[in-house]
Structure 1
Amino acid sequence: MEDWGLPLNSPVPRAVVAITAELAANAAIHGPTPGRDFEVRLSLTGAHARVEVSDTLPERLPPPSPDAPLPSPDTATTGGGLFLVNAFATRWGCERRTACVKTFWAECSRRATGKARQDTCAIELVVNHLSRQAC
């Protein structure tokens, strides 16, 4: 992120790290399918940093939109990580990419970073490629 002009101790990188850790953990715990992996992608534009985590269990979906009520942190046994994502992200959502793959994404506004470069650049950090096998 420093190569993008975002110091690691600034708000956006800290938010991106927290969101990426939560979404990757969710994919590893709740989204595994034997023989298939999950994928992490990070991108940066002049407006926002975006985290995307895809896994191969599309039937396990979070609430349909960020406006849907989240489970109560006092009574829910799962779903607490969505509070973290909701707290750090400017916007987030989840969509089916194919019949076999869902992608959970979150965006963080770059406005909080002050002098970050405003050009469009992107990097793709892929933990593991998703299998191209049929479901």
Structure 2
Amino acid sequence: MDNKNPSLCGIKVLVVDDNEDTLALTKLMLGLCGAEVIASPTAAEGLEQVQMQRLDIIVSDVSMPYMDGYQFIRAVRNLPAHKGRDIPALAFTAFHGPEYSARAFDAGFQAHLSKPAPLEMLVETVAGMISLPRNFLN
């Protein structure tokens, strides 16, 4: 791990992305900073992981087939609290601009980051989000 990047040791991250290369790269980037990363190639699988794992943060693409990232995060926000409803979530997507950020926030994400993003930016965003109080949605 590069010393200028925050450590993500002890953090459990769910990454949801239908692009195999992006999923592998994001998993590698976060893993290099110490995060335990669970990779899900579909939103449906990601939703199952949210309910089975104790996660610290979700990093999700928004453009996916069958269930997109907006539908995915809405489904997460409709879960009971003990099943993951309040997990902070980052929309990590190729779509950039204020309209996409607004749509991500409206759906239930707490942050929006356009890809490709430098490792430092991704790690700093994740590190900043996990310091949010757990009851921020209440």
TM-score by length of 1: 0.27
Which protein is richer in helix relative to its size?
2
Higher strand share: 1
| Greater relative contact order structure (CA < 8 Å, 6+ sep) | 1
Q: Which has the larger radius of gyration?
A: 1
